[in-house]
Structure formats: structure tokens, C-alpha cells
Chains A and B, each alone.
Chain A
Amino acid sequence: MAHHEHAAEHAHHDEKPAGIMRWLTTTNHKDIGTMYLVFSLAMFLIGGLMALVIRAELFQPGLQFVDPGFFNQMTTMHALVMVFGAVMPATVGLANWMIPMQIGAPDMALPRMNLFSFWLLFFAFMLLLSTLFLPGGAPAAGWTLYPPLVLQTGDAFPVAVFAVHLMGASSIMGSINVIVTIMNMRAPGMTLLKMPLFSWSWLITAYLLIAVMPVLAGGVTMLLTDHFFATSFFNPAGGGDPVLFQHIFWFFGHPEVYIMILPAFGIVSEIVQTFSRKPIFGYEAMVYAIASIAFLSFIVWAHHMFTVGMPLAGQMFFTLSTMLIAIPTGVKVFNWTATLWRGSISFEPPMLFAIAFLFLFTIGGFSGLMLAIAPADFQYHDTYFVVAHFHYVLVPGAVFAIMAAVYYWLPKWTGHMYDMKLANIHFWMSTIFVNVLFFPQHFLGLAGMPRRIPDYATQFSDWNMVSSIGAFGFGLSQLLFVYIILKAAKGGAKATAGVWEHPADFPAGLEWTVPSPAPYHTFETAPEVK
């Protein structure tokens, strides 16, 4: 009798509204994960179009297509859209899909708040994008929103500040959900140190988010009150200090970089071990390395501000603390390499992207070390060298890891294998073009080309042309990515539960124990982890 009641209840739980109502009202972690991923893909394409406007303008010297004001709006909006609309929501989407399945939980701990977080983010971005059509245009002071420049923004200013608040609230609620899910809802036997590294990386990321998103919100609230309520947080005429905003922004901004890259570390760890057919080398060291990087991210912020002026002791402190980050990062790169050592390696698309990540993210890491040296930074600051540095960290770093994750888990989501041949083509095109796009920017920066300008001296022409060709090639390659995903969603060879080969003694997540595609509800009865 009890069994029948339970079965009826189970059937009830399996019911889902059809059509648009399913997506508007769902509290299912897989649906919400899908919505985050689709949203982030759309933002990736919109932010990419903005990047192409920038690169089209910079294809040759002189003003070609857009006026300088609009160019500045594009650099600002491209960054805001890519950071808050593409990379972060993509990792949140992956977290929604995978964390409950990896740890054996039936859903996220707070499903209604989960749905609210998504729609808050969606609304925030509709607001932010709408500023392009307001008098005065979108914010154009750079994503760092430095005063007093940002206070010259037109009608878009309060709208953008409100949008940043909404994004922050959404991220904080999403992080609370991740922490509560992992701390309270792991399957019996799934101890913290048995958790897959993707879940671990997200647990630490979630704590980082709760610690720093309110700082950004505080900073932009102060901007708002300075603008509309005659306060003087950043106004020297009233006893304020514009440099204070830079401290507040980068106290948020540097950990924000790790918020984008730590989940990528988790993804790469999972993929490297799967396709090396060996458990990750130094699992616990990997966890401690992620935690160390997260901690250090709080004490390095002023390396973004060396040229503003600070005492020598400050320069030395922030140089050395920044260099310390190379130690746990080095541990991770060493452990990924050691995992590959004598592994039975195969090069499916997720592994290709993960290997590219190892090489190309490390280039971004090394140029970061160059920028950490205060006297050298006086030369590099505000040049294209900085643009090359952070794009190496974020594109073949974070974005490649997200693409690797999509190729790794797509068969689990759709139940179909995707077109491997096309995915390989997508990988090679992306990898070649991303280097054509960003590597020459190192040369431009070292030669002294400043960032955030729509025109430049003719001596910079050649490498700018090469960089723009790379940008259009990279952009076009991503249409292939969209096609591969749509094709796999529609059909294809059936995927097995394991999808990839996992040796029996493998510390893989529980997602590989459920069928592909993953049923709408998983782990309603707790699995036992040995």
C-alpha cells in the first residue's frame, strides 16, 4: 500500500507543465540549468557581436564605422555582458545541472529561490541591454565603472546600477543554494573529500561570491548616492576620494576573476582524469590549491592600481602576494600534467579543449606574473598587453573550459552523442583563431598601444589587422558550436549511462550512474556511496 502511495507520489513529481509554462514555473534543477546555459549562450553571441564591432573598428587606423562614444559603450558593454552574462551564468548553469547529480541529491536545496535567481538575472540583463537605447547611450566608462568618468553617463546610469544590484542579488542567491545543497544534501557516504572536483571548485566559488558581490553592490550604491543624493564618497570637493572606489572595485574585481576560473579548474580536473583513464593526481592537493587561490585572491587587489600611486611597501606587498598565487596554481598545473603522465590518453573534443586550456591558460597566468611586478606594470599598464593577458585567462581559459564541459556532459543532458568530427573542427578553428586574435595583442601592448581607444598610430596597423582577422574567424567558429549543440539536442547516436570509459576504481561523480539522458528526477531515493 505504502509502495503504491509512493509510486503515485513519484508519478505526481514527474509531471511537468507543457510548453512555455514549464520554463516559466519550473523548479527542477535540470530545467533551470538548461535555462542558464541557453541564456549564457545568447549573451556569449551578443557580447561576441560587440567584440566584433570593436575589432572591425580597429581593423585599420582612423575612424571607420562607429563614433568614439559608441566605441566606448561597446568596450564597456562587451565586458559586462561577457563577465556577468556569459561566463558566470554558464558556470551557474553547469552547477545547477551537475552538482545535485554528482553528489546524489534529488535537486538543489532551495528550488524556488533557484528559479527566482535565474529570472532576476534575465531581468537584470534586459535592463542593462536596454541602456543602449536610452538618451546618452549605454555606460561607456569601462566595466570598472570608475568615478568621476562613470558619473558622466546619461540616463543609463541609474538603470545600469540597478542592473548590477539585481545581478549581484541573483549571484548571491545562487551561491547560497550551492552551499546549502553541498553541505546538507550529499548522499550518505559522499563525504566532502569524496566529492568530484567540479563540485568542490563550485563550493569554494560560492563562498567567494557571497564575500565579494556585496562589495560591488556597496560600491555602486555609493556611486548612486554621490550622483543623486549629494554624498561625497568619491568626490574630493566634499572630502571623498575617487581612489577609494578603485580599492572597493578591485577588492571585488580580483576575486571575481577567480569566480570565473575556479569552476573551470574543476571542469578541467574531471576531464583530464577521465580521458587519461587515471584518477586525478593529488586530489586533496587540488582541493587545498583551490582554497588557497580563493584566500589569496582577497589580498592582491591593488596590483590593478600600481600606477595610481602607493607607498613602496604597498607595491612590494601586492607584488609579492600576487606572485604567491603562482604556487597553488603551479600545483594544479603540475597535478594535471602528472595525471596525464603514463595515462591511457585519448583526444575526444572535451580533452582537446582541456589540453588547450592547460597551455593557453598558463600563457595568461605567466603574463599575469609579468604584470604583478610593480615597476614593469608601470610600462604595461593600460596597454594592449593587459588586454591580451586577461583575454588569455578568460577565453582559452574560462570559455574553453565551459566548452569542454558542454562537450563532456552534453550526451548526459540530451541522451545523444554529438557530431565528433564537427566538434573537432570547432576545436581546431577556435584554438587557431583565438591565438591569431589575442597573441598579437601582446606585441601591440609591449610596443605601447593603449587600450580602450577607437583609433591608433599607424605603427600598430599590421598586428591590429591580424588580430581582427582572428576575431572574425573565432566568432564564425562559434556558429559551428551552436549548430553542434542543436544537432545533438535533436538526435544522434544513443549515449550510454557512462558515456565515456570510467575505470571501476575511478572517483567519478554519481552523474554517470544514471541513464542518459538523465531522467527528469534523479536520486529521489538516496544512493549509497562506498
Chain B
Amino acid sequence: MSTAVDPREDPALRRRNIRLAIVLGIVAVAVYVTFFLVKGMGGE
């Protein structure tokens, strides 16, 4: 999506930015948790 207006002046763009950031943050946390789960399933 190409817009290049300032998010301070465009609440829709601001919402889109925050939404994508949250999705990426969830991915990062999911990778972190997955490594514990994999070890948990395969461990003693």
C-alpha cells in the first residue's frame, strides 16, 4: 500500500501501521514460545 502521508494526519494509516506491527510482534512471540513447546513435546 503506497500512501506516504503523515500518520499523524491520517488515522486510517496509523491504524494500519499499528495493526501490522501487532501481527509481526505476535509472530515474534510465537517463534519464542514454539521453541519451548517443541522441546516440551520431545523432552523427557
Contact call A217/B44, Cβ cutoff below 8 A: no
A190–B3 Cα distance when bound, in Å, is 9
- The one of B24, B31, B32, B43 in contact with A176, judged by C-beta atoms closer than 8 angstroms, is B24
Residues from chain A with a CB closer than 8 A to the CB of B6 are 106-107, 524
Contact call A210/B27, Cβ cutoff below 8 A: yes
- The one of A106, A191, A215 in contact with B2, judged by C-beta atoms closer than 8 angstroms, is A191
A190–B4 Cα distance when bound, in Å, is 10
When each residue 102-136 of chain A gets 1 if its CB lies under 8 Å from chain B and 0 otherwise, what string results?
01111101100100000000000000000000000
Residues from chain A with a CB closer than 8 A to the CB of B43 are 233, 239-240
Residues from chain B with a CB closer than 8 A to the CB of A527 are 4
A65–B6 Cα distance when bound, in Å, is 56
Residue of A nearest to B27 (CB): A210
Query: In the complex, how many angstroms separate the beta carbon of A182 from the nearest chain B beta carbon?
Result: 10
Contact call B1/A183, Cβ cutoff below 8 A: yes
Q: Does A242 contact B (CB under 8 A)?
A: no
Contact call B20/A179, Cβ cutoff below 8 A: yes
Contact call A176/B21, Cβ cutoff below 8 A: yes
Contact call A180/B21, Cβ cutoff below 8 A: yes
Interface centre among B3, B17, B18, B25 (most CB of A within 10 A): B17
Residues from chain B with a CB closer than 8 A to the CB of A175 are 24
Residue of B nearest to A104 (CB): B4
Residues from chain A with a CB closer than 8 A to the CB of B39 are 222, 233, 244
Residue of B nearest to A251 (CB): B35
A464–B29 Cα distance when bound, in Å, is 45
A210–B21 Cα distance when bound, in Å, is 11
A184–B20 Cα distance when bound, in Å, is 9
Query: In the complex, how many angstroms separate the beta carbon of A245 from the nearest chain B beta carbon?
Result: 11
- The one of B13, B29, B44 in contact with A239, judged by C-beta atoms closer than 8 angstroms, is B44
Q: Does A143 contact B (CB under 8 A)?
A: no
When each residue 209-241 of chain A gets 1 if its CB lies under 8 Å from chain B and 0 otherwise, what string results?
011111101110110000000001100001110
Residues from chain B with a CB closer than 8 A to the CB of A113 are 21
Query: In the complex, how many angstroms separate the beta carbon of B5 from the nearest chain A beta carbon?
Result: 6
Query: In the complex, how many angstroms separate the beta carbon of A40 from the nearest chain B beta carbon?
Result: 23
Q: Does A512 contact B (CB under 8 A)?
A: no
Q: Tell me whether A217 and B16 are in contact in the complex, defined as CB-CB below 8 angstroms, given that A110-B21, A239-B44 are known contacts.
A: no
Q: Tell me whether A526 and B4 are in contact in the complex, defined as CB-CB below 8 angstroms, given that A211-B31, A214-B28 are known contacts.
A: yes
Residue of A nearest to B16 (CB): A184
Q: Tell me whether A189 and B17 are in contact in the complex, defined as CB-CB below 8 angstroms, given that A233-B39, A239-B43 are known contacts.
A: no
Residues from chain B with a CB closer than 8 A to the CB of A184 are 1, 3, 13, 16-17, 20
Residue of B nearest to A171 (CB): B28
Residues from chain A with a CB closer than 8 A to the CB of B3 are 184-186, 188, 526
A175–B24 Cα distance when bound, in Å, is 9
Residue of A nearest to B22 (CB): A176
A107–B1 Cα distance when bound, in Å, is 16
Residue of A nearest to B44 (CB): A239
Contact call A217/B32, Cβ cutoff below 8 A: yes
Residues from chain B with a CB closer than 8 A to the CB of A183 are 1, 20
Contact call A110/B17, Cβ cutoff below 8 A: yes
Residue of B nearest to A100 (CB): B4
Residue of B nearest to A188 (CB): B2
Residues from chain A with a CB closer than 8 A to the CB of B25 are 172, 176
Interface centre among B3, B24, B28, B31 (most CB of A within 10 A): B28
Q: Tell me whether A248 and B35 are in contact in the complex, defined as CB-CB below 8 angstroms, given that A184-B17, A184-B20 are known contacts.
A: yes
Q: Tell me whether A180 and B20 are in contact in the complex, defined as CB-CB below 8 angstroms, given that A210-B27, A218-B32, A222-B39 are known contacts.
A: yes
A397–B42 Cα distance when bound, in Å, is 39
Query: In the complex, how many angstroms separate the beta carbon of B29 from the nearest chain A beta carbon?
Result: 7
Residue of A nearest to B29 (CB): A214
Q: Does A82 contact B (CB under 8 A)?
A: no
Query: In the complex, how many angstroms separate the beta carbon of B4 from the nearest chain A beta carbon?
Result: 4
Seen from chain A, the residues whose Cβ lies within 8 Å of a Cβ on chain B are: 103-107, 109-110, 113, 172, 175-177, 179-180, 183-191, 210-215, 217-219, 221-222, 232-233, 238-240, 244, 248, 523-524, 526-527
* Cross-chain pairs A/B with CB under 8 angstroms, 15 sampled: A104-B4, A106-B5, A180-B20, A184-B1, A184-B3, A184-B17, A186-B3, A187-B2, A188-B4, A212-B31, A213-B28, A218-B36, A238-B44, A244-B39, A526-B5
Seen from chain B, the residues whose Cβ lies within 8 Å of a Cβ on chain A are: 1-7, 13, 16-18, 20-21, 24-25, 27-29, 31-32, 35-36, 39, 43-44
Given contacts A210-B31, A239-B43, 6 further A-B contacts (CB under 8 A): A186-B4, A187-B4, A213-B28, A218-B31, A232-B44, A240-B44
